[in-house]
Amino acid sequence: MKIPVNEPLVGEREIEYVLDCLRTGWISSAGKYLEAFEEAWANYCGMRYGVAVSNGTTALQIAVRAAGVGPGDEVIMPSFTIISCAQAVTYNGGVPMLVDSEPRTWCMDVSQLEARITPRTKAIMPVHIYGHPVDMDEVTRLAKSHHLLVIEDAAEAHGAEYLSGRQADQPVWLRCGGIGDLSAFSFYANKLVTTGEGGMVLTNDPQIAAHLRSLRNLCFRPEKRFLHTELGHNFRLTNLQAAIGLAQVERMPETIHKKRWMGETYTRRLRHIPGLSLPVEESWARQVYWMYGLVLDESTGLNAADLARKLGERGIETRPFFLGMHEQPVFTSQGLFKGEKYPVAERIARQGLYLPSGLTLTESQLDEVCLAVEEVLANP
């Protein structure tokens, strides 16, 4: 493809740090870059502890486990998300309970949460979709009043901010991943901060942090290493990967600047085209346009697959939106989500895709993408 949907940006600092690991022999899952990366990312997000792991999916798996979710426990999440969220719950024996999305932000519709709470509910898992925060105050309020934990999935929203407490006297901007009891991040190559593959769980709770560290490292015990009282995993991240991550965290202000430029420029150039819903930024949000999505109105006569094919013919790579969890054969064949309908998730899954959105995207590439979208919609 002439214009890829995403390309990572790796700078000189990353190379310098990785070379330092190689030259000093600290290439495995201990070392100064791991500690520095965990501390820098936790700090950046406003949390006390960071536990780096092998990817975002494993981050969710141990976050759900450390939240105490066990067989039969329920976790409320959006249908419209990646399978990692539901899998992290079923993997621990729990049951995902779904809500629909909100049509403007494509994030979970928080007005549907309360009706999903049962005596078995253990946690709520808000997912900040494509870089826009979930409206977290309602999530936090419900969690407090029903004694639930909040596990934020902030994989797609590095550096996005949420105006918390806007009904109260002192509203405060909080970073996504710094609001819940636990939060999970992915550092896959298409994320704002990448380590190639990687992830992290953040928390303010020292006991949860210790449990996460244990789960990541086969539940070896500090006092008697090879005596196990719990089964853990090898979900460790390497110092080499953390070295890349640390350099990327140090560049976050520039990264966010570039992403916001990209998002705002796309919107300026596409908003006059009829039949397109573009990403929004609610007054209580500062979004980071992880991916620049759009949803086609049915009046265009096109669905997302049609537009993807036509853009692909012009060398422009895109990705479809998520398919909701309630439409996944792997779950419905087990009897999960029987008869459940989530109309917003179903519609955006069919009508939504995202455009090239990487950190290396140039203004002329962005222009070319916008022109192509306009041409395809003019002659569907």
Q: Residues in the site for ligand PLP, rule: CB under 6 A?
A: 55-57, 81-82, 84, 127, 153, 155-156, 186, 188, 199
By C-beta, is 55 or 287 nearer to ligand PLP? 55
Nearest residue to 353 (alpha-carbon basis) of 273, 270, 268, 292: 292
Nearest residue to 359 (alpha-carbon basis) of 247, 279, 287, 256: 256
Q: Which residue is nearest to ligand PLP (CB)?
A: 56
For the bound state, the minimum distance from the C-beta of residue 155 to ligand PLP, rounded and expressed in Å, comes to 3
For the bound state, the minimum distance from the C-beta of residue 52 to ligand PLP, rounded and expressed in Å, comes to 12
For the bound state, the minimum distance from the C-beta of residue 126 to ligand PLP, rounded and expressed in Å, comes to 10
Residue type, 84: S
Q: What does each C-alpha distance from 46 to 194, 207, 276 come to in angstroms? A: 19, 18, 36
**SS3 sequence, 279-321?**
CCCCCCEECCCCCEEEEECHHHCCCHHHHHHHHHHCCECCEEC
From its phi and psi, is residue 147 left (phi > 0), alpha (psi between -120 and 50) or beta?
left
For the bound state, the minimum distance from the C-beta of residue 200 to ligand PLP, rounded and expressed in Å, comes to 10
C-alpha span between 178 and 161 (Å, rounded):
9
What is the CB-side half-sphere exposure of residue 246 using CA atoms within 13 A?
24
What Rg, from alpha-carbon coordinates, does the chain have? 21
By C-beta, is 143 or 155 nearer to ligand PLP? 155
By C-beta, is 84 or 121 nearer to ligand PLP? 84
By C-beta, is 59 or 243 nearer to ligand PLP? 59
Match 């009706």 to its residue by tokens. Answer: 115
For the bound state, the minimum distance from the C-beta of residue 120 to ligand PLP, rounded and expressed in Å, comes to 23
For the bound state, the minimum distance from the C-beta of residue 64 to ligand PLP, rounded and expressed in Å, comes to 12
Nearest residue to 40 (alpha-carbon basis) of 202, 155, 184: 202
By C-beta, is 38 or 156 nearer to ligand PLP? 156
By C-beta, is 181 or 310 nearer to ligand PLP? 181
The H or E element spanning position 243 is helix 239-250
C-alpha span between 94 and 84 (Å, rounded):
13
For the bound state, the minimum distance from the C-beta of residue 194 to ligand PLP, rounded and expressed in Å, comes to 10
Nearest residue to 253 (alpha-carbon basis) of 193, 163, 183: 193
By C-beta, is 26 or 185 nearer to ligand PLP? 185
